[in-house]
Amino acid sequence: MVFQEYALFPWKTTLGNVEFGLRLKGMPRLERERTARHYIDLVGLGGFEDKFPRQLSGGMRQRAAVARALANQPAILLMDEPFAAVDALTRLRLQEELTQIWQREPMTVLFVTHSIDEAIFLADRVVALSKRPGTVQQEFTVDLPRPRRWEPLANDARFSALRESVLELIHEGHAEAGTRGHA
């Protein structure tokens, strides 16, 4: 799982953080280090293996957290708003990098976000939830070509139409919730 906060051990280096789960699984040291280095390189942190979290930018810390999760080769990767704590440009870059990583290391990713654009950009399916209690309102299929890059996709009519459909559903849900509250 990759959390909103970086959730790295401050006393461990990037390599030590990425190796942590592998150590718990009992993986031999050389294999553990080789695996960790592979995922560190995959997320673009090659050369930062010996740096501590305090020596990394926010985006680099989140890349380290992603590498740690990927190193365990999960069948399902859970990501709870992992890019919420980084600046807007870093967020866009991390979104593009995540799609590239996913193409090289295919797996099921369950990504929680409040950003409609982020959901559409990253997903093959977007599930919109209602307000309390959170129930599935509607599922949208995202039929946009991969690999995805923000520059061409931001002006794509299909992207815009899907964004409008999701926004309309959300606005309808808020309007209904408001009328129920005044009964």
Question: Which region, left, alpha or beta, applies to residue 64 given φ > 0 means left and ψ of -120 to 50 means alpha?
Answer: alpha
pLDDT at 173 over 80: no
Q: Considering the entire predicted model, what is its pTM? A: 0.84
CB of 60 closer than 8 Å to CB of 8: no
Residues 37, 50: Cα–Cα separation, whole Å: 11
| 49-89 per-position pLDDT tens digit | 999 999 999 999 999 999 999 999 999 999 999 988 888 98
Phi, psi of 139 (to 5 degrees): -115, 135
Q: Which domains does the chain have, with CATH numbers?
A: 14-181 (3.40.50.300)
Query: What is the band of 167 on the pLDDT scale with cuts at 50, 70, 90?
Result: very high
Give the tokens for residue 88. Answer: 């807007």
